[in-house]
């Protein structure tokens, strides 16, 4: 993304043109940036949060491309060279990709004139989708990732979800989840944080793209409360999936979701991200209004059906990142198979 004051747009786009059509690709710059990337990967791959995220990808998406971290691996980064970098520039960047993302309506015509240099770009646009085979999981397990002597554990309940949609089942499932684990006052956070004191915070999120999705319930808990946290999360999910939300929770969801979106699209970068989403997923330009109407009018029975479909705990794999030598004997008492997972770095 390029950001500029309106008065500097022309000069900024001159720089953009030079960078796109005449990139320097200095060997010294490439070597420095590659080393920075490697150092960043080495540090990041030691953090419990990254280990939990990578475990989630591996468990849910197996040998597909979706099991790989977007930052790449150490081995691939080490093999990357400047020749490949130049090739990727030609293969992945295309004029239509840039032009379609220029949507400043108040001076769109002016900007369009200054973007005519993109017409000189040659080559075919790279495909946006790379269909993958993702095998189904046939058995529920606890996947244990060793973080020796860790004072805390990360506990995750994960399952495959839905591809992205703006106003369909995915969005409605997020509304259904709001009172279970989607805000500070949610059932799981109130249980683990306010009642039990196991964690500073517990929640959930839905990750999705055009092809796949995932649902993740997540908490970083005291190591000595790891098994107890799993039991409590499972209990809350089971109760919610079976009984659904209350009338009071439905009222709270309508009010809170409406208010939290009020200032979401105020800054230029937020507006640019909104436009990018519309273009990326071919959304209706009024999809935010459609969402607001769904929040106001969705029936409790609809949300309860989605809760029963998506939040039953027995459909989830469990991931634990922590001190394996201490945790494994405790986890085995839950009568769920425990597998120590080797993380791909």
Q: What per-residue confidence (pLDDT) applies to 187?
A: 99
Q: What per-residue confidence (pLDDT) applies to 129?
A: 64
Q: What per-residue confidence (pLDDT) applies to 87?
A: 80
Q: What tokens appear for 344 in the block?
A: 């791909």
Q: What per-residue confidence (pLDDT) applies to 301?
A: 98
In a domain, 177, yes or no: yes
In a domain, 201, yes or no: yes
Say if residue 189 is in the same domain as residue 86: no
Q: What per-residue confidence (pLDDT) applies to 94?
A: 57
In a domain, 131, yes or no: no
Alpha-carbon distance of 67 to 52, in angstroms, equals: 12
Say if residue 185 is in the same domain as residue 302: yes
Element (H, E) at 203: strand 199-208
In a domain, 55, yes or no: no
Q: What per-residue confidence (pLDDT) applies to 3?
A: 81
Q: What is the pLDDT along the chain (345 residues), one digit of tens a residue?
A: 788 888 888 898 889 888 888 888 899 999 999 999 999 999 999 999 999 999 999 999 988 888 888 888 888 899 988 888 888 777 666 544 554 555 445 456 667 777 777 777 666 666 666 777 788 888 999 999 999 999 999 999 999 999 999 999 999 999 999 999 999 999 999 999 999 999 999 999 999 998 999 999 999 999 999 999 999 999 999 999 999 999 999 999 999 998 887 778 888 888 888 988 898 899 999 999 999 999 999 999 999 999 999 999 999 999 999 999 999 999 999 999 999 999 988
Alpha-carbon distance of 213 to 207, in angstroms, equals: 5
Closest C-alpha among 240, 228, 232, 216 to residue 309: 240
Which CATH number is 146's domain given? 3.30.830.10
The count of domains in the chain is 2
Say if residue 84 is in the same domain as residue 20: yes
- Structural domain of 164: 142-340
Say if residue 13 is in the same domain as residue 148: no
Q: Is 340 in a helix, a strand, or coil? A: strand
Q: What per-residue confidence (pLDDT) applies to 127?
A: 65
In a domain, 134, yes or no: no
Say if residue 113 is in the same domain as residue 170: no
Say if residue 198 is in the same domain as residue 147: yes
Say if residue 248 is in the same domain as residue 169: yes
Say if residue 229 is in the same domain as residue 277: yes
251 Cβ partners below 8 Å, 6+ apart? none
Q: What per-residue confidence (pLDDT) applies to 99?
A: 46
Alpha-carbon distance of 130 to 212, in angstroms, equals: 11
Q: What tokens appear for 281 in the block?
A: 């997923």
In a domain, 261, yes or no: yes
In a domain, 248, yes or no: yes
One-character DSSP codes across 1-58: -----GGGHHHHHHHHHHHHHS----HHHHHHHHHHHHHHHHHHTTSHHHHHHHHHHH
Say if residue 242 is in the same domain as residue 313: yes
pTM for the full model? 0.89
Say if residue 98 is in the same domain as residue 233: no
In a domain, 130, yes or no: no
Say if residue 150 is in the same domain as residue 108: no
Q: b/e per residue, 129-141, with b = 16+ CB within 10 A?
A: eeeeebeeeeeee
């Amino acid at each position: 993304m390029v950001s500029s004051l309106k008065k500097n747009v022309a000069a900024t786009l001159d720089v953009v043109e030079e960078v796109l059509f005449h990139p320097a690709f200095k060997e010294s710059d490439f070597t420095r940036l590659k080393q920075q990337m490697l150092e960043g990967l080495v540090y990041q791959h030691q953090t419990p949060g990254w280990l939990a995220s990578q475990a989630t990808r591996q468990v849910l998406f197996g040998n597909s491309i979706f099991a790989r971290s977007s930052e790449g691996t150490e081995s691939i980064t080490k093999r990357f060279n400047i020749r490949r970098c130049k090739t990727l520039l030609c293969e992945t960047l295309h004029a239509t990709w840039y032009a379609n993302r220029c949507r400043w309506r108040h001076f769109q015509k002016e900007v369009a004139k200054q973007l005519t240099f993109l017409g000189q770009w040659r080559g075919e646009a790279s495909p946006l989708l790379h269909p993958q085979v993702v095998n189904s999981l046939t058995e529920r397990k606890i996947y244990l990732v060793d973080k020796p002597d860790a004072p805390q554990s990360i506990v995750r309940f994960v399952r495959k979800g839905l591809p992205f949609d703006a106003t369909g089942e995915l969005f409605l499932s997020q509304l259904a989840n709001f009172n279970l684990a989607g805000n500070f006052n949610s059932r799981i956070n109130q249980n683990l944080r306010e009642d039990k004191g196991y964690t500073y915070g517990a929640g959930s999120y839905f990750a999705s793209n055009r092809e796949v999705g995932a649902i993740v319930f997540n908490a970083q808990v005291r190591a000595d409360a790891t098994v107890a946290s799993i039991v409590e999360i499972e209990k809350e999910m089971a109760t919610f999936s079976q009984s659904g939300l209350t009338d009071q929770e439905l009222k709270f969801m309508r009010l809170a979701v409406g208010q939290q979106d009020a200032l979401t699209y105020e800054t230029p970068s937020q507006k640019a991200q909104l436009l990018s989403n519309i273009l990326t997923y071919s959304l209706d330009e009024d999809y935010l209004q459609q969402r607001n109407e769904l929040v106001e009018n969705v029936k409790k029975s609809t949300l309860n059906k989605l809760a029963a479909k998506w939040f039953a705990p027995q459909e989830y794999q469990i991931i634990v990142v922590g001190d394996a030598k201490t945790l494994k004997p405790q986890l085995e008492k839950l009568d769920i198979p425990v597998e120590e997972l080797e993380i791909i770095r």
